[in-house]
Amino acid sequence: MQTEVVTEALPDTLIKEAASEKARRFKREWEERYSSLLAGRRHWKIIAGAQTIVIAGLCVALWDMGRQAHTPDVVVLEKSGSQIAYAGPVQPQSMDDATWDLVRVEQLKKFISAWRTVTSDVVAQNADWDMSFAFVGDNSQARAALSKWYEENDPVKRAAKGELVTVQFKTFDPPLKGSHTYGLWWTETTTSTSGQVTGTKTWHARIVYAQKIPTSEYARSVNGLGILATELSFEPVAGS
C-alpha cells in the first residue's frame, strides 16, 4: 500500500516577504562592511579637492606678486613688427628718478669693481676680466679704451708681482635730464700680498651708456639691466 504525500505550494505573498527580508539582511551586511570605506573615500576626495583649491590659490598669488615686481622691458620694433632692438627695462611707475639713477649706478659700480680690482686669485681675476667686458658695447670707444687699459695694466701680471688693489666707491654725478652720462668717483687702495698699504688714489670716470641687450648669454647673465658703456674716459684726481 502506497502513502500519497501531499504538498501545498506556499502562497506568493510569503515568497515575496522572504525575498524582501533576505534582501534587507544583505543590504545591512553590505552597508556595515563597506559604508565606512565609501565614507572615507568621499572624505579623501573632499580633502584632495580642498588642497587643490588652496594650491591653485597660492600659485595665483605668487604669480601676481611676481607680475607686480617684474620690471617691464622696452623693445623697439620695425614697422613690420619684427624685433630689432632691446632698449632695456623701463623705470617702474612707482620709482622716482633719483632711485632709478641708483639702480643704474649699481650696475656701473659692478663694472668699475670688476675692471679695477686686482687679486692674487687668478680664477677670480679672469672672471672679473670677462665681466668688465660684459658692460661695454661692441665696437665702441669704451671697448677700445678698456682693451688698451688691460694691455698696459694686466692685473694678472700685477698680482704676480705682489700688487693687490681694492676699490671703495665714493659718489656719482647724476646725469642731466635726458642725458645718458654718469660720473663715478672711487678710491683705489694698493697693498702688498702681506697687507702693507703702498698707495691710495682717487679716480673719476665719465661713462656714456646705452641700454641694449648684450649679445652673449654670459653678458646677459651678469648685466641683466643692459647697461653698456659706449664712451669711457677716466683719470686720477689731482692731489689724491
User: Over the stretch 127-183, which tens digit does the pLDDT of each residue have?
Assistant: 999 999 999 998 999 999 999 999 999 999 999 999 999 999 999 998 888 889 999
Question: Residue ranges of the domains in the chain?
Answer: 1-70, 84-236
Query: How far apart (Å, rounded) are the C-alpha atoms in residues 151 and 163?
Result: 17
Calculate ∠ Cα 235-100-96, nearest 5°: 135
User: Over the stretch 2-60, which tens digit does the pLDDT of each residue have?
Assistant: 444 444 444 555 555 555 666 666 556 655 555 555 555 555 555 555 556 656 555 55
Average pLDDT of the residues in 85-101: 68
Q: Which three cell numbers stand for residue 97?
A: 628718478
User: Over the stretch 214-226, which tens digit does the pLDDT of each residue have?
Assistant: 778 888 889 988 8
Give the CATH architecture of domain 84-236: Roll (3.10)
Q: Identify the pLDDT of residue 225.
A: 87
Q: Identify the pLDDT of residue 82.
A: 37
Average pLDDT of the residues in 96-104: 82
Provide φ and ψ at 5, rounded to 5°.
-95, 125
Q: Which three cell numbers stand for residue 165?
A: 688693489
Query: How far apart (Å, rounded) are the C-alpha atoms in residues 212 and 97?
Result: 20
How far, in Å, are 64, 145, 160 from residue 154 at the CA level?
Answer: 48, 14, 10
Neighbours of 174 (CB within 10 A): 16
Query: Mapping DSSP to helix (H, G, I), strand (E, B) and coil, where does residue 74 land?
Result: strand
Average pLDDT score, the chain: 77
